Amino acid sequence: MTVRSSAKMRTFRAGLLGLAAFALVGCQNVFDGIDSNRGEVPLPTKLKAKMSAYGMKASSPIMIRIFKDENVLEVWKQKDTGRYALLSEYEICKWSGKFGPKFKEGDKQAPEGFYTVAKHQLNPKSQYHLSFNMGFPNAYDRAHGRTGSHLMVHGACSSAGCYSMTDDRVEEIYALAREALRGGQKAFQIQAFPFRMTPENMHKHRDHKHAEFWNMLKEGYDHFEITRTPPKVDVCGKRYRFNTVGSGKFVPTQACPTMAMPESLAVAYTKRQEDFTKRFEALVAKSENREPRALAPMTPQEALPGINIIVPKPEVVEPPKQPEPTQTVTTAPATAQNAVAPVTATSNEATGTVAQ
Protein backbone atom coordinates (compact mmCIF):
# COMPACT_ATOMS: atom_id res chain seq x y z
CA MET A 1 0.00 0.00 0.00
CA THR A 2 1.40 3.39 -0.92
CA VAL A 3 1.75 6.31 1.48
CA ARG A 4 -0.95 8.14 -0.45
CA SER A 5 -3.43 5.27 -0.21
CA SER A 6 -2.66 4.88 3.50
CA ALA A 7 -3.49 8.54 4.04
CA LYS A 8 -6.78 8.06 2.19
CA MET A 9 -7.59 5.07 4.37
CA ARG A 10 -6.88 7.07 7.54
CA THR A 11 -9.15 9.83 6.27
CA PHE A 12 -11.86 7.31 5.46
CA ARG A 13 -11.60 5.73 8.92
CA ALA A 14 -11.70 9.15 10.56
CA GLY A 15 -14.86 9.90 8.63
CA LEU A 16 -16.45 6.67 9.81
CA LEU A 17 -15.53 7.46 13.40
CA GLY A 18 -17.05 10.91 13.03
CA LEU A 19 -20.29 9.43 11.72
CA ALA A 20 -20.33 6.92 14.56
CA ALA A 21 -19.83 9.66 17.11
CA PHE A 22 -22.64 11.65 15.51
CA ALA A 23 -24.94 8.62 15.76
CA LEU A 24 -24.30 8.40 19.49
CA VAL A 25 -25.58 11.82 20.40
CA GLY A 26 -29.14 11.58 19.19
CA CYS A 27 -30.76 14.06 16.83
CA GLN A 28 -28.00 16.64 16.82
CA ASN A 29 -28.48 19.88 14.90
CA VAL A 30 -25.42 20.10 12.68
CA PHE A 31 -26.47 22.89 10.34
CA ASP A 32 -27.50 25.52 12.87
CA GLY A 33 -26.08 28.27 10.68
CA ILE A 34 -28.60 27.83 7.87
CA ASP A 35 -30.52 31.04 7.29
CA SER A 36 -34.22 30.24 7.31
CA ASN A 37 -37.58 31.74 8.15
CA ARG A 38 -39.15 28.36 8.75
CA GLY A 39 -39.56 29.24 12.42
CA GLU A 40 -41.98 32.05 11.52
CA VAL A 41 -44.53 29.96 9.65
CA PRO A 42 -47.92 31.32 10.82
CA LEU A 43 -50.59 29.25 12.50
CA PRO A 44 -53.13 27.88 10.01
CA THR A 45 -56.35 29.89 9.77
CA LYS A 46 -58.44 26.80 10.50
CA LEU A 47 -56.48 26.12 13.69
CA LYS A 48 -56.90 29.72 14.86
CA ALA A 49 -60.64 29.47 14.32
CA LYS A 50 -60.70 26.29 16.40
CA MET A 51 -58.80 28.03 19.18
CA SER A 52 -61.25 30.91 19.17
CA ALA A 53 -64.19 28.50 19.42
CA TYR A 54 -62.52 26.81 22.41
CA GLY A 55 -61.89 30.09 24.25
CA MET A 56 -58.16 30.07 23.51
CA LYS A 57 -55.74 32.67 22.22
CA ALA A 58 -52.68 32.07 20.07
CA SER A 59 -50.62 33.27 23.02
CA SER A 60 -52.30 30.96 25.56
CA PRO A 61 -50.00 28.42 27.30
CA ILE A 62 -49.64 24.90 25.90
CA MET A 63 -48.72 21.42 27.12
CA ILE A 64 -47.65 18.38 25.07
CA ARG A 65 -48.37 14.71 25.71
CA ILE A 66 -46.64 11.91 23.79
CA PHE A 67 -47.73 8.27 23.63
CA LYS A 68 -45.36 5.80 21.99
CA ASP A 69 -47.78 2.90 21.58
CA GLU A 70 -50.53 5.05 20.08
CA ASN A 71 -47.91 6.89 17.98
CA VAL A 72 -49.46 10.24 18.80
CA LEU A 73 -48.39 13.68 20.01
CA GLU A 74 -51.11 15.79 21.61
CA VAL A 75 -51.07 19.57 22.00
CA TRP A 76 -53.21 20.87 24.85
CA LYS A 77 -53.89 24.58 25.25
CA GLN A 78 -55.22 26.71 28.09
CA LYS A 79 -58.77 27.97 27.77
CA ASP A 80 -60.12 31.23 29.17
CA THR A 81 -61.33 29.19 32.19
CA GLY A 82 -57.73 28.42 33.14
CA ARG A 83 -58.07 24.71 32.37
CA TYR A 84 -56.50 23.02 29.38
CA ALA A 85 -58.31 21.33 26.49
CA LEU A 86 -57.02 19.08 23.72
CA LEU A 87 -56.45 21.26 20.67
CA SER A 88 -54.77 18.92 18.17
CA GLU A 89 -53.37 15.43 17.74
CA TYR A 90 -50.44 14.66 15.42
CA GLU A 91 -49.25 11.29 14.23
CA ILE A 92 -45.62 10.64 15.14
CA CYS A 93 -43.70 9.71 11.99
CA LYS A 94 -40.92 7.83 13.83
CA TRP A 95 -39.63 7.27 17.34
CA SER A 96 -36.70 5.04 18.13
CA GLY A 97 -36.07 2.39 20.75
CA LYS A 98 -38.59 0.43 22.79
CA PHE A 99 -41.06 1.07 25.57
CA GLY A 100 -39.18 2.38 28.60
CA PRO A 101 -36.97 5.30 29.60
CA LYS A 102 -33.69 6.42 28.10
CA PHE A 103 -30.63 5.30 30.09
CA LYS A 104 -27.45 6.37 28.36
CA GLU A 105 -25.95 8.26 25.49
CA GLY A 106 -26.12 6.23 22.32
CA ASP A 107 -28.87 3.77 23.28
CA LYS A 108 -31.13 5.43 20.68
CA GLN A 109 -34.00 5.32 23.16
CA ALA A 110 -36.69 8.01 23.07
CA PRO A 111 -37.20 9.45 26.59
CA GLU A 112 -40.18 8.91 28.88
CA GLY A 113 -40.99 11.25 31.75
CA PHE A 114 -41.79 14.88 32.47
CA TYR A 115 -39.78 17.57 30.70
CA THR A 116 -39.91 21.33 30.16
CA VAL A 117 -39.14 23.39 27.08
CA ALA A 118 -38.19 27.07 27.28
CA LYS A 119 -37.65 29.56 24.47
CA HIS A 120 -33.92 28.90 24.15
CA GLN A 121 -34.62 25.23 23.38
CA LEU A 122 -36.39 26.04 20.12
CA ASN A 123 -34.28 25.77 16.97
CA PRO A 124 -35.73 27.40 13.83
CA LYS A 125 -32.59 26.50 11.83
CA SER A 126 -32.49 22.82 12.57
CA GLN A 127 -31.03 20.22 10.22
CA TYR A 128 -34.35 18.44 10.82
CA HIS A 129 -36.45 21.30 9.40
CA LEU A 130 -37.60 22.60 12.83
CA SER A 131 -36.97 21.25 16.31
CA PHE A 132 -37.09 21.84 20.05
CA ASN A 133 -34.98 20.14 22.68
CA MET A 134 -37.01 18.15 25.22
CA GLY A 135 -34.62 18.94 28.08
CA PHE A 136 -33.23 15.44 28.64
CA PRO A 137 -31.73 14.64 31.11
CA ASN A 138 -34.03 16.25 33.66
CA ALA A 139 -33.57 16.20 37.45
CA TYR A 140 -34.98 12.66 37.72
CA ASP A 141 -32.72 11.36 34.95
CA ARG A 142 -29.61 12.97 36.47
CA ALA A 143 -30.45 11.55 39.90
CA HIS A 144 -30.30 8.09 38.30
CA GLY A 145 -27.07 8.78 36.41
CA ARG A 146 -28.70 8.77 32.99
CA THR A 147 -26.91 10.43 30.11
CA GLY A 148 -27.84 11.74 26.69
CA SER A 149 -28.13 14.93 24.68
CA HIS A 150 -29.97 16.47 21.74
CA LEU A 151 -33.20 14.57 22.43
CA MET A 152 -35.79 16.44 20.44
CA VAL A 153 -39.13 16.72 18.77
CA HIS A 154 -38.29 17.54 15.15
CA GLY A 155 -39.20 17.16 11.51
CA ALA A 156 -37.58 15.21 8.64
CA CYS A 157 -39.24 11.94 9.71
CA SER A 158 -36.01 10.33 10.99
CA SER A 159 -35.08 9.40 14.56
CA ALA A 160 -32.03 8.40 16.60
CA GLY A 161 -33.60 8.69 20.02
CA CYS A 162 -36.03 11.49 19.22
CA TYR A 163 -39.68 11.94 18.36
CA SER A 164 -39.80 12.75 14.66
CA MET A 165 -42.68 14.32 12.75
CA THR A 166 -43.29 15.13 9.11
CA ASP A 167 -42.23 18.66 8.22
CA ASP A 168 -45.76 20.02 7.86
CA ARG A 169 -46.77 18.65 11.27
CA VAL A 170 -43.69 19.95 13.06
CA GLU A 171 -44.29 23.40 11.54
CA GLU A 172 -47.70 23.55 13.22
CA ILE A 173 -46.44 22.18 16.55
CA TYR A 174 -43.47 24.56 16.48
CA ALA A 175 -45.72 27.54 15.73
CA LEU A 176 -47.97 26.67 18.70
CA ALA A 177 -44.93 26.47 20.98
CA ARG A 178 -43.46 29.69 19.61
CA GLU A 179 -46.64 31.71 20.11
CA ALA A 180 -47.19 30.40 23.65
CA LEU A 181 -43.62 31.26 24.69
CA ARG A 182 -43.84 34.68 23.07
CA GLY A 183 -47.14 35.19 24.85
CA GLY A 184 -45.50 34.93 28.26
CA GLN A 185 -45.33 31.22 29.07
CA LYS A 186 -41.87 30.69 30.57
CA ALA A 187 -41.71 27.01 29.60
CA PHE A 188 -44.17 24.35 28.52
CA GLN A 189 -44.39 20.82 29.85
CA ILE A 190 -43.89 17.65 27.82
CA GLN A 191 -45.26 14.42 29.25
CA ALA A 192 -43.86 11.38 27.43
CA PHE A 193 -45.49 8.00 28.11
CA PRO A 194 -45.11 4.50 26.70
CA PHE A 195 -48.91 4.27 26.29
CA ARG A 196 -52.10 5.74 27.70
CA MET A 197 -52.21 4.88 31.40
CA THR A 198 -55.53 3.03 31.31
CA PRO A 199 -56.34 -0.02 33.47
CA GLU A 200 -56.24 -2.15 30.32
CA ASN A 201 -52.75 -1.01 29.31
CA MET A 202 -51.37 -1.16 32.85
CA HIS A 203 -52.74 -4.69 33.17
CA LYS A 204 -51.26 -5.69 29.82
CA HIS A 205 -47.79 -4.51 30.89
CA ARG A 206 -48.03 -5.34 34.61
CA ASP A 207 -45.10 -7.79 34.48
CA HIS A 208 -42.83 -5.57 32.40
CA LYS A 209 -39.44 -4.69 33.90
CA HIS A 210 -40.40 -0.99 33.78
CA ALA A 211 -43.83 -1.45 35.42
CA GLU A 212 -42.77 0.28 38.64
CA PHE A 213 -41.43 3.26 36.70
CA TRP A 214 -44.67 3.49 34.72
CA ASN A 215 -46.76 3.34 37.89
CA MET A 216 -44.88 6.45 39.02
CA LEU A 217 -45.49 8.21 35.69
CA LYS A 218 -49.16 7.30 36.00
CA GLU A 219 -49.39 9.48 39.12
CA GLY A 220 -48.60 12.56 37.03
CA TYR A 221 -50.87 11.33 34.25
CA ASP A 222 -53.74 11.03 36.74
CA HIS A 223 -53.16 14.48 38.20
CA PHE A 224 -53.53 16.03 34.77
CA GLU A 225 -56.62 13.95 34.00
CA ILE A 226 -58.20 15.22 37.23
CA THR A 227 -57.27 18.91 37.10
CA ARG A 228 -56.75 19.51 33.38
CA THR A 229 -53.76 21.66 34.29
CA PRO A 230 -50.10 20.63 34.00
CA PRO A 231 -49.06 19.19 37.37
CA LYS A 232 -46.38 20.77 39.52
CA VAL A 233 -43.45 18.37 39.17
CA ASP A 234 -40.68 17.91 41.75
CA VAL A 235 -38.05 15.24 42.28
CA CYS A 236 -36.87 13.98 45.66
CA GLY A 237 -35.77 10.61 46.95
CA LYS A 238 -34.93 9.80 43.30
CA ARG A 239 -38.61 9.79 42.28
CA TYR A 240 -41.16 12.16 40.77
CA ARG A 241 -43.60 13.95 43.06
CA PHE A 242 -46.69 15.71 41.75
CA ASN A 243 -48.78 18.61 43.07
CA THR A 244 -47.31 18.57 46.57
CA VAL A 245 -45.97 21.37 48.74
CA GLY A 246 -42.93 20.65 50.86
CA SER A 247 -41.76 21.87 54.23
CA GLY A 248 -38.33 22.32 52.68
CA LYS A 249 -36.47 22.13 49.39
CA PHE A 250 -36.97 19.21 47.00
CA VAL A 251 -33.51 17.69 46.36
CA PRO A 252 -33.51 14.90 43.75
CA THR A 253 -30.97 12.66 45.48
CA GLN A 254 -32.04 13.33 49.07
CA ALA A 255 -35.01 12.25 51.18
CA CYS A 256 -38.19 14.17 50.51
CA PRO A 257 -39.24 16.95 52.89
CA THR A 258 -42.56 16.69 54.67
CA MET A 259 -45.12 16.88 51.86
CA ALA A 260 -48.76 17.90 51.80
CA MET A 261 -51.62 18.17 49.33
CA PRO A 262 -54.93 20.09 49.47
CA GLU A 263 -57.83 17.94 50.64
CA SER A 264 -60.00 18.57 47.56
CA LEU A 265 -57.27 17.29 45.22
CA ALA A 266 -56.42 14.38 47.52
CA VAL A 267 -60.06 13.26 47.60
CA ALA A 268 -60.38 13.44 43.79
CA TYR A 269 -57.10 11.57 43.33
CA THR A 270 -58.20 8.88 45.81
CA LYS A 271 -61.49 8.38 43.98
CA ARG A 272 -59.65 7.95 40.68
CA GLN A 273 -57.28 5.39 42.23
CA GLU A 274 -60.20 3.51 43.77
CA ASP A 275 -61.96 3.28 40.39
CA PHE A 276 -58.72 2.23 38.69
CA THR A 277 -58.01 -0.46 41.29
CA LYS A 278 -61.48 -1.98 40.88
CA ARG A 279 -61.12 -2.13 37.11
CA PHE A 280 -57.57 -3.48 37.35
CA GLU A 281 -58.67 -6.20 39.80
CA ALA A 282 -61.47 -7.19 37.42
CA LEU A 283 -58.97 -7.58 34.59
CA VAL A 284 -56.59 -9.63 36.73
CA ALA A 285 -59.45 -11.84 37.91
CA LYS A 286 -60.54 -12.44 34.33
CA SER A 287 -57.02 -13.39 33.26
CA GLU A 288 -56.78 -15.78 36.24
CA ASN A 289 -60.26 -17.20 35.63
CA ARG A 290 -61.64 -16.23 39.03
CA GLU A 291 -64.12 -13.83 40.58
CA PRO A 292 -62.90 -10.29 41.41
CA ARG A 293 -62.06 -9.72 45.05
CA ALA A 294 -64.17 -7.34 47.08
CA LEU A 295 -62.15 -4.20 47.72
CA ALA A 296 -62.55 -1.92 50.71
CA PRO A 297 -63.05 1.80 50.07
CA MET A 298 -59.73 3.56 49.63
CA THR A 299 -58.61 6.39 51.91
CA PRO A 300 -56.42 9.35 50.93
CA GLN A 301 -53.73 7.98 53.24
CA GLU A 302 -53.69 4.75 51.23
CA ALA A 303 -53.76 6.49 47.86
CA LEU A 304 -51.12 9.05 48.86
CA PRO A 305 -48.70 7.36 51.29
CA GLY A 306 -46.33 9.75 53.00
CA ILE A 307 -48.33 12.83 52.03
CA ASN A 308 -50.22 14.90 54.57
CA ILE A 309 -53.66 16.18 53.71
CA ILE A 310 -54.29 19.90 54.07
CA VAL A 311 -57.75 20.22 55.55
CA PRO A 312 -59.15 23.73 55.13
CA LYS A 313 -60.10 25.47 58.33
CA PRO A 314 -63.86 25.74 58.74
CA GLU A 315 -65.13 29.21 58.10
CA VAL A 316 -66.33 30.95 61.21
CA VAL A 317 -69.52 32.71 60.31
CA GLU A 318 -70.30 35.43 62.79
CA PRO A 319 -73.98 36.08 63.40
CA PRO A 320 -75.18 39.39 62.06
CA LYS A 321 -75.06 42.17 64.59
CA GLN A 322 -78.44 43.03 66.08
CA PRO A 323 -79.34 46.69 66.06
CA GLU A 324 -78.99 48.26 69.47
CA PRO A 325 -82.41 48.89 71.14
CA THR A 326 -83.59 52.45 71.06
CA GLN A 327 -84.12 53.85 74.57
CA THR A 328 -87.32 55.87 75.02
CA VAL A 329 -87.12 58.55 77.70
CA THR A 330 -90.50 59.44 79.24
CA THR A 331 -90.77 62.64 81.22
CA ALA A 332 -93.06 62.31 84.21
CA PRO A 333 -95.50 65.17 84.83
CA ALA A 334 -94.61 67.49 87.64
CA THR A 335 -96.32 66.84 90.97
CA ALA A 336 -96.10 68.28 94.39
CA GLN A 337 -93.58 65.57 95.28
CA ASN A 338 -91.32 65.74 92.25
CA ALA A 339 -91.66 69.41 91.37
CA VAL A 340 -88.44 71.42 91.52
CA ALA A 341 -88.41 73.22 94.80
CA PRO A 342 -88.35 76.99 94.52
CA VAL A 343 -85.25 78.84 95.58
CA THR A 344 -85.79 79.95 99.19
CA ALA A 345 -84.10 83.17 100.19
CA THR A 346 -83.19 83.64 103.81
CA SER A 347 -82.37 87.02 105.26
CA ASN A 348 -79.12 87.53 107.05
CA GLU A 349 -79.83 90.48 109.19
CA ALA A 350 -76.24 90.90 110.44
CA THR A 351 -74.70 91.27 107.01
CA GLY A 352 -77.65 92.32 105.00
CA THR A 353 -76.91 89.54 102.37
CA VAL A 354 -79.30 87.05 100.93
CA ALA A 355 -78.29 83.37 101.12
CA GLN A 356 -79.82 81.01 98.63
Judge whether 320 lies within some domain: no
The 10 Å CB-count burial string (b at 16+, else e) for 206-232 is eeeeeeebbebbbbbbbbbeeebbbbe
Q: Please indicate, yes or no, whether residues 220 and 141 belong to a single structural domain of this protein.
A: no
Judge whether 66 lies within some domain: yes
> What's residue 2's pLDDT?
43
Q: Decide which of 173, 196, 219 is a domain's last residue.
A: 196
Integer Cα distance of 100 and 104 in angstroms: 12
Mean local confidence (pLDDT), 300-315: 94
CB distance 219 to 240 below 8 Å: yes
Between 193 and 323, name the one with better pLDDT: 193
144 is catalytic: no
Q: Please indicate, yes or no, whether residues 156 and 287 belong to a single structural domain of this protein.
A: no
For the ranges 12-16, 21-25, 331-335, the one whose mean pLDDT is highest:
331-335
Q: Please indicate, yes or no, whether residues 38 and 162 belong to a single structural domain of this protein.
A: yes
**Residue 237 above 70 pLDDT?**
yes
Host H or E run for residue 77: strand 72-78
- Provide the pLDDT confidence category of residue 158 given band limits of 50, 70 and 90: confident
Q: What is the CATH number of the domain that holds 39?
A: 2.40.440.10
DSSP 8-class letter at 160: S
Could you say which of 150, 154, 223, 256 is catalytic?
154
By C-alpha distance, which of 237, 232, 291, 228 is closest to 78? 228
pLDDT digits (tens, 9 = 90+) for 68-114: 999 999 999 999 999 999 999 999 999 999 999 999 999 999 999 99
Could you say which of 93, 162, 236, 256 is catalytic?
162
- Provide the pLDDT confidence category of residue 333 given band limits of 50, 70 and 90: low
pTM: 0.81
- Provide the pLDDT confidence category of residue 318 given band limits of 50, 70 and 90: confident
Q: Please indicate, yes or no, whether residues 124 and 168 belong to a single structural domain of this protein.
A: yes
Q: Which residues form the domain of 276?
A: 197-311
> What's residue 36's pLDDT?
60
pLDDT digits (tens, 9 = 90+) for 33-48: 454 689 999 999 999 9
154 is catalytic: yes
**Residue 19 above 80 pLDDT?**
no
Q: Please indicate, yes or no, whether residues 28 and 75 belong to a single structural domain of this protein.
A: yes
Judge whether 290 lies within some domain: yes
Mean local confidence (pLDDT), 264-277: 98
Overall domain count for the chain: 2
> What's residue 1's pLDDT?
45
Q: Please indicate, yes or no, whether residues 116 and 133 belong to a single structural domain of this protein.
A: yes
Angle (CA) 124 78 93, round 5°: 45
